[in-house]
Amino acid sequence: MTISLPIEQHLSSIQTMLAEHTRLILVAQPGAGKTTRVPLMLLSSAWAQGQRLLLGEPRRVAARLAATFMASQLNEQIGETVGYRMRGDSNVGPNTRLEVVTQGVLTRILQDDPLLEGVAGIIFDEFHERSAHSELALALTVDPSRFALAF
C-alpha cells in the first residue's frame, strides 16, 4: 500500500531538476515525504541505474525506521533494495541500492572511497541538525580531491 504524501505532486519536478543539476535543496514541511518518498523515486532515475544511493541520517533510530518503512513500501524485507548501515549494526545485501546510513558511517564511506565508486548520489536528510560529521561529509562530497586523510 502506497501512502499519498504532500511531496507526491512535486516528484516529477524533483526528477527533472536532478536530471539537469547535480545538487538540489529540498524544503518541505515535516511529514511531507522527503525522507521516504524522494529516495525511492530517485532509484528509478536514469542517472541512478545500476548504482547505489546513500541517505545520510543524523540518528540511528531514524535511519533504521526510515529504511524499514521504505522496504515495506516496496513489499520487501529490509536488506533487499533498501538497507541500513550504522556503527555496530548493518542490514544490507548484494542487491541493496538504497543505503540509509548514519552520518558517522557516511563520513567513513567518503574517507575510504573519495570517488564513491558505484554511488550515484548522496542525500543529506535533516541537514538542519548540523554536526561535525554532517559538515565533514558535505565538504568531502563538494570536492573530494581537496581532502587527504592519512592515518
Question: Which is nearest to 102 in space by CA: 53, 58, 140, 39?
Answer: 58
Cα distances (angstroms) measured from residue 6 to each of 11, 27, 44: 10, 12, 20
Does residue 115 surpass a pLDDT of 80? yes
DSSP string, 102-113: EHHHHHHHHHH-
- Specify which residues 56 forms β-bridges with: 101, 124
Grid coordinates representing 150 are 592519512
Give 62-90 pLDDT, tens digit per residue.
Answer: 999 999 999 999 999 999 999 999 999 99
